[in-house]
């Protein structure tokens, strides 16, 4: 895919396509990052690298890169667990006494969720199909599971049960958990989510670094959007995967009921926090339930926690969200942040209270009998 410079002469697109023996597939104009991307294909024996290099040498081209492939990251498990251990691990019940994600919009860029599932009924406010064609499709297990983890209304305990969900279909596939999408599909989803007012965007997928998507993430973060991504399930020997490794993304790894690291999880200094992601009870299409494991599940837990944080303090910036998450995390593994667990296990109650408590301490105490009602100023406590 490629973009043209603003000063490119009229007719440049047609000339370039003919010269490089390319067939135009789609043209997308974005608002989050002001640009127009042209997606093209070729049928000869050239490699993608050769075509990209040829385009990059053209002075009329602003950007040229591969339309990278991304995959959802989850593993199906054989049996159904009876308990939702996530509730206790993340201290969700305690956190929900103060915040439930009400009035916070969370976009889930994934495969098609089952919006009619009892657990998701009334949870998905709007949906967008970022794929080509726009034909009606069956609900997919991965998208259904992730939406339920973030904001299930009933049946399942979710991280943010009153958050407003935006469902973005950017991935498709026929397997129980796997589905694939490309750079252009994810970019469409990011652009739409920002235009629809998403404060949090969950990205439970992984793949190679992508210059175009990195620009989209930087632009969104600059406008206050918090991005959360799965660290990846490629194992300890894998290089960091994108978008989790992007500096504007909160990267999440997965742990089990005993706080052990998910064996297939990626490692790296870019990891922010861990969250339960092994044997997670999730919603499945057609009103069913199942078990899934992977960093996808963990990322969705943290996206929900971020929604709680933004309800408690709506003006939080993305760096402040990251700082509050890491400060309140329960340390795992070696003392302090590490390449396996990041800052430790996310703590919903700790994160929410860290935001509520300082504000409460700065408010004047109400007058009591026999005391003057004149307000008395008090200095705010030092912030960590």
- Active-site positions read 110, 142, 296
Cβ neighbors of 96 (< 8 A, separation 6 or more) are: 161, 308
Question: Tokens in use for 295?
Answer: 């960093």
Alpha helices in 199-347 (DSSP H): 211-222, 295-312, 318-328
CA separation (Å) from 206 to 8, 112, 146, 233?
34, 17, 15, 8
* Distance in angstroms (rounded) separating the CA atoms of residues 293 and 279: 5
Task: Residue 64: name the closest of 2, 126, 142 by CA.
Answer: 2
Count CB atoms within 10 A of the CB of residue 49.
9
* Distance in angstroms (rounded) separating the CA atoms of residues 305 and 295: 15
Q: To 5 degrees, how large is the angle CA 364–CA 370–CA 372?
A: 40
CA separation (Å) from 160 to 165, 180, 304?
10, 26, 5
Are β-strands 205-206 and 180-182 bridged in parallel, bridged antiparallel, or unpaired?
Answer: unpaired
Centroid of chain to Cα 200:
7
* Distance in angstroms (rounded) separating the CA atoms of residues 276 and 298: 5
């Amino acid at each position: 895919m490629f973009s043209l410079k603003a000063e490119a002469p009229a007719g440049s697109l047609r000339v370039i396509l003919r010269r490089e023996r390319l067939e135009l597939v789609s043209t997308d104009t974005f608002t989050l990052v002001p640009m127009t991307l042209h997606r093209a294909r070729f049928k000869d024996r050239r490699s993608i690298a050769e075509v990209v290099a040829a385009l990059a040498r053209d002075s009329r081209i602003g950007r040229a890169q591969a339309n990278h492939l991304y995959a959802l990251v989850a593993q199906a498990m054989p049996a159904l667990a009876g308990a939702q251990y996530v509730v206790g691990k993340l201290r969700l019940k305690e956190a929900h006494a103060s915040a439930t994600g009400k009035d916070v919009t969370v976009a889930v860029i994934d495969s098609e969720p089952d919006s009619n599932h009892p657990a998701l009924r009334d949870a998905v406010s709007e949906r967008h199909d970022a794929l080509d064609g726009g034909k009606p499709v069956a609900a997919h297990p991965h998208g259904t599971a992730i939406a339920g983890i973030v904001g299930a209304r009933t049946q399942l305990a979710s991280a943010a049960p009153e958050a407003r969900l935006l469902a973005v279909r950017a991935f498709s596939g026929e397997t129980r958990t796997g589905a694939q999408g490309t750079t252009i599909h994810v970019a469409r989803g990011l652009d739409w989510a920002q235009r629809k007012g998403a404060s949090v965007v969950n990205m439970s997928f992984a793949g190679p670094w992508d210059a175009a998507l990195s620009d989209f993430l930087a632009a969104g973060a600059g406008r206050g959007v918090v991005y959360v991504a799965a660290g990846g399930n490629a194992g300890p020997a894998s290089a960091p995967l994108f978008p989790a490794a992007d500096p504007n993304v909160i990267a999440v790894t997965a742990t089990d009921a005993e706080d052990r690291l998910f064996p297939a999880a990626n490692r790296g200094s870019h990891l922010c926090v861990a969250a339960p992601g092994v044997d997670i009870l999730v919603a499945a299409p057609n009103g069913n339930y199942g078990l899934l494991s992977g960093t996808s599940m963990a990322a969705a837990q943290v996206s929900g926690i971020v929604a709680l944080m933004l309800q408690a303090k709506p003006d939080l910036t993305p760096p402040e969200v990251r700082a509050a998450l890491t400060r309140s995390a329960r340390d795992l593994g070696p003392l302090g942040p590490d390449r396996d667990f990041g800052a430790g296990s996310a703590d919903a109650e700790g994160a929410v209270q860290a935001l509520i408590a300082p504000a409460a301490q700065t408010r004047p105490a109400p007058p009591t009998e026999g005391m003057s009602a004149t307000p008395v100023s008090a200095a705010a406590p030092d912030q960590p």
